[in-house]
Structure 1
């Protein structure tokens, strides 16, 4: 996809928002490298994955990747025969346990998320590797005593030696011969040797090895001669212990190396699932939907919102590519024309990246092979290009590459030069794109292009509404009606002298052509038709509401009638039962009377 297009449509901001939703470095790496695809099947799969993850979120069954880490470097090192640190081995165990939980979670919901389960089956929990790491390593990243019998023996001996040396040093502290030689009665460590703080003047008399000296030189930290042999035994045992620890880590690393390929595949699947989860979280944040796809160049956006605008955002309805291939949008500055272009362009890039789009259900979008956008001020001081030259340079580069599978977005087409020449050039560019069946959205201020849209089949006018009373845009897009810049009305409300306003209106009236008058009448007719359509739509909505209310009332009446029937039947049955009981009682008494007589 064209890098300039990605830049002007602010695609990088989408990557950043997506990256912020990733839990792991594996997912964040994918989010940062995200690019739109042009393969329809790839896009369908990505959108399906996003929709399945979104469905889980909506059901409060969000995937959890807590504990997963990027252990690819460690896996590669182990495969090459390297020895991993305890921290790296624990990270691998954490990652594999996350993979096991996630695999179990997704496979239990396969009917809801079949596409995610394809990735879930790539997760290899490697339970033997995890259990061995957990058995040999503590949570503080140290090797457990019972990792091997030899390590248990060595550490037991170390404890015994430490106890013996401490006992002997305690005895020296309480010795009447040694106590006067000490600065204070404490045992201290220097390096890995047990020492006592001896006054410097008693060095020869105390006897032993000096391992350190205080800053003032008044205190010598000396290992008494009586414990030197025990200290040496401790050191020898510590060396043997370290060798055994290294042997345990080497064995664990070899076990990881044996399964390195499966571990790398698991990391890949975890990263993909985290990336999908981030896409679903972004969908939920923006209340986005999965659009229907086509390859016919048809765009139909319903209540679409630009995802990077601060709320409140006015939604827009946009269509392109079915009834017409070029849409020309006119209207005042700051009225929302450029935002409309950016919304269509950015949502197209998002959809082709497997992201849901912030719009309503029923939205349909086309998969384009190329998307070009010429938006904003293209002035370049370094290249000595004016705004006009900057725009034309980009347009000249894109035109030969356009075809029926291309979307082109042009902002202020032909602007920055003589209006007559700019309008003529704009019409020529649109003719060129129309002949190539390219889908085009363009904004303009040129009145000539409004007439052009009426005269060309496949071209349609549109406008962004502007409230002349408040001097504020409404940002609503109206397809079929060209807009006005409202320059004179705005100038009048902003306080320009009335004489200037009248002169401007007179000059404008003198320049209006028959085509302009026809356009105005068409605009008025279009506006009237739109009002009639809205009124008819409101009537239909009102009629549908009444129909539903009547249907509900009929259903309630039917339920009430059924309830009354059941109640009457129950009462009749109960009364019949009572009459039968009374008849039986009377018959019983009649039969008993002769016996009594």
Structure 2
């Protein structure tokens, strides 16, 4: 077995489903370690356990797993010499009580489950340890009745605490202390009985500060009137802790002395939990215990894939008796892959001791090795194509197989040129056959199907297909040859009959039509017509888009002989080829009739100055006169 097989067949997913029926962590841990066995005796024993567990459940039996929990972490402490605390000892007691109840229950199931019942004989009862723990510990603490000395000390502790409280109550009710007290309560702080005192009066009160509040406004003081009693109480508490420790150490010692037998009980409880989880799963799927063999004979009757729910077409399948290799053909989405996965997963399930959903007389072969090549194995990390990845997988499988191997191949030889792929697939199938493998492979290649028909130890099978509705029926028909139904589907899709007839001929004799096309059917190139220049006559004032700037400007001067247009853009004139312009709006659409277009190209300052001169502005005239004098001086 290898991880690829488990992953492709979804074995781990099935194991998780069965594991969910466990009631304790003990059984779940065993499931995590469970692997399919290739030993026929081991597999038979596992299936017998599951069947006996199912018989108990079917008879109305209810295994008393209540109180049984995983105590491995507690046992680990004992191995390190750690004294157990009260709650841990109670867990040990609960576990031992659970073992006792399960033993009592299982010994009474000899009629339904002789094998499982015999396991109970190896379990040990520890009634005395249970009683000692339950007598000494109550409510998760050591009980006073555990020893006379503990009872005496706790009585003295109670008396001392009562005296302290009486004196503190007198302190609270004294009028002399009224102004000092923050709250009129007795507060237990750091194993001391204290009074909340206002921080400003802490020096006026005789006693010891035990704690200060977070804001500092209150100090918790133990008044000197109870100082001596508080010291006596501390000594009594120390003595109490020592006595409790001695009792816990004694109880822990009782457990340690019987640790070997307790570990055996743990193993048996784990086994029972796992076995009854398998039995519960069997009851849920109405499973059966299949017959088993170790010579490769597989016979599935009305078998269902363990992970499929709802309406599932049951599988009828056989191999090993009369032929050792089966070639499955049929259309895509016809169920070939599910057939392969069902065969593989029910085999792994049986080898793990799981019941399967099938009819009586179903028979499963136990294999030493199971290999699969299913799905797209393209490797991004290694840059391998799908075909290369399949070949790498098949190469590794070829080196590991023997005559006790089950092989499941989906679309063997696919992913490359059909002739080469089919030839390579046939050669591989021959090699696997020569090594004694049981092989089930699906394919689209007709050559592989024909090879299978010719080989006496190979058998063809087809996935049934409804030719009227073009729907797969998901039924495997052994002894029949399937095809991809390409021609049938094409006929349904109204492909011309003459095309389909010619395709059928090519499938038989490969004599292709090689005539050249009639000249009358060939399109001739048309005469080249010189492209008319559709250039635009840009006019002054047109709004245009400058393609190189992705912005707009105004035409100032029409295009010259070189097809360049003068454009007013961002207060300057630039020359732009007409191919780099796009007309947005004509001038007549932008400006009213009679509009002075020249004013659009003159700066505001210049237009204002001209306007001032026209209306006889002295300031404007002085400005012009000044510019004239400056020009003469320069």
TM superposition score normalised by structure 2:
0.78
- CA deviations over 1:277-331 (Å, ceiling 9, x no partner): 1111121222211001112210011111111123222111111100211111111
Partner of residue 74, structure 2: 74
Q: What is the distance in 2 between the residues matched to 1:252 and 1:504?
A: 91
For 1:321-400, list aligned pairs within 5 A.
Answer: 321-400=320-399
The answer to which structure, 1 or 2, has the higher relative contact order (CA under 8 A, 6+ apart) is 1
Q: Deviations over 1:247-303 (max 9, x none)?
A: 111111111110011111111111111111111112122221100111221001111
Shift of residue 4, structure 1, vs aligned partner = 1.7
| Equivalent residue, structure 2, for 1:300 | 299
Could you tell me how far 1:15 is from its partner in structure 2? 2.0
The one-character-per-residue Cα deviations of 1:183-226 (angstroms, maximum 9, x if unpaired) are 22111111111111122232222211111223333322111110
Aligned partner of 2:96 in structure 1 is 96
Farther off after superposition, 82-91 or 105-114: 82-91
Post-superposition shift, 1:489?
Answer: 3.6
Q: CA–CA distance in 2 between the matches of 1:459 and 1:13?
A: 33
Is 2:32 aligned against 1:32?
yes
Q: How many residues align?
A: 510
Q: Which residue of 2 aligns with 1:513?
A: 508
What is the deviation of 1:501? 4.8
Does the Cα contact within 8 Å between 1:329 and 1:463 map onto a contact in 2? Answer: yes
C-alpha offsets along residues 16-61 of structure 1, whole Å, 9 cap, x if unaligned?
1122121111111111121111111111111100111111111221
Q: Which residue of 1 aligns with 2:16?
A: 16
Which SS does the other structure have where 2:414 is aligned?
coil
Map of 2:148 onto structure 1: 149
The alpha-carbon distance between structure 1 residues 118 and 76, as it changes in their structure 2 partners (threshold 3 A), is farther
How far apart are the structure 1 equivalents of 2:445 and 2:496?
A: 21
Contact kept? 2:64, 2:105, Cα under 8 Å:
no
CA contact (8 A) 1:423 1:449 kept: yes
Separation in structure 2 between the aligned mates of residue 238 and residue 297 of structure 1, nearest angstrom: 74
- Structure 2 distance, partners of 1:145, 1:471, is 82
Could you list the per-position Cα deviations for residues 343-372 of structure 1 after superposition, in whole angstroms to 9, with x for gaps in the alignment?
000111111111111211111111111111
Unaligned segments of structure 1, at least 5 residues = 516-597
In structure 1, the partner of 2:565 is none
Aligned residue for 2:403? 404
Query: After the TM superposition, which residues 156-305 of structure 1 pair with which residues of structure 2 at under 5 Å, given as runs?
Result: 156-305=155-304
Could you give the per-residue CA deviations for residues 433-484 of structure 1, whole angstroms, max 9, x where no partner exists? 2223321110000111222222111111111112233332211111111112
For 1:424 and 1:76, the matched residues in 2 are separated by 61
- Provide closer, same or farther for how the CA distance between residues 58 and 179 of structure 1 changes in structure 2, counting only shifts above 3 A: same
Conserved 8 A contact 1:72-1:264: no
Distance in 2, matches of 1:133 and 1:28, equals 28
Higher mean alpha-carbon deviation, 154-163 vs 433-442, is at 433-442
CA contact (8 A) 1:329 1:441 kept: yes
Partner of 1:119: 119
After TM superposition, give the deviation of residue 492 of structure 1 in Å.
5.5
Matched, 1:485 2:480: no
Q: Distance in 1 between matches of 2:43 and 2:245?
A: 49
Distance in 1 between residues matched to 2:381 and 2:79, nearest whole Å: 51
The answer to whether residue 438 in structure 2 is matched with residue 443 in structure 1 is no
Instruction: Write out per-residue CA displacement over residues 396-426 of structure 1, whole angstroms, 9 at most, x where no aligned residue.
Output: 1222433332111111011011111111111
Q: Which moved more, 1:339-348 or 1:157-166?
A: 157-166
Structure 2 partner of 1:130: 130
Instruction: Give 3-state SS (helix, strand or coil) of 1:440's partner.
Output: strand
**Residues in 2 aligned to 1:239 and 1:283: alpha-carbon distance in whole angstroms:** 58
TM-score normalised by the chain length of structure 1: 0.82
Q: Which has the larger radius of gyration?
A: 2
Task: Work out whether residues 81 and 254 of structure 1, in 8 Å CA contact, stay in contact via their aligned partners in 2.
Answer: no
SS in 2 for 1:177: helix
Corresponding residue number in structure 2 for 1:6: 6
Q: In the aligned structure 2, how far is the partner of 1:504 from the partner of 1:406?
A: 46
Once the 2 structures are TM-superposed, how far is the Cα of residue 76 of structure 1 from its aligned partner?
Answer: 4.3
Is the 8 Å Cα contact of residues 79 and 260 (structure 1) preserved in structure 2?
Answer: no
SS for the counterpart of 2:448 is helix
Greater share of strand: 2
| Alignment partner, residue 520 of structure 2 | none
Change (3 A) 1:202 1:355: same
**What CA distance in whole angstroms lies between the structure 1 residues aligned with 2:450 and 2:121?**
60
Alignment partner, residue 63 of structure 1: 63
After superposition, what is the alpha-carbon deviation per residue over 1:72-128, rounded to whole angstroms, capped at 9, x for unaligned?
342343355331122221111111111110111010111211111232222222111
Distance 1:318 1:246 in 2: 67
CA distance in 1, matches of 2:236, 2:314: 75
In 2, Cα distance between equivalents of 1:386 and 1:377: 9
Distance in 2 (CA, whole Å) between partners of 1:398 and 1:503 is 46
Say whether 1:84 aligns with 2:84. yes
Aligned residues of 1:488 and 1:501 also touching (Cα < 8 A): no
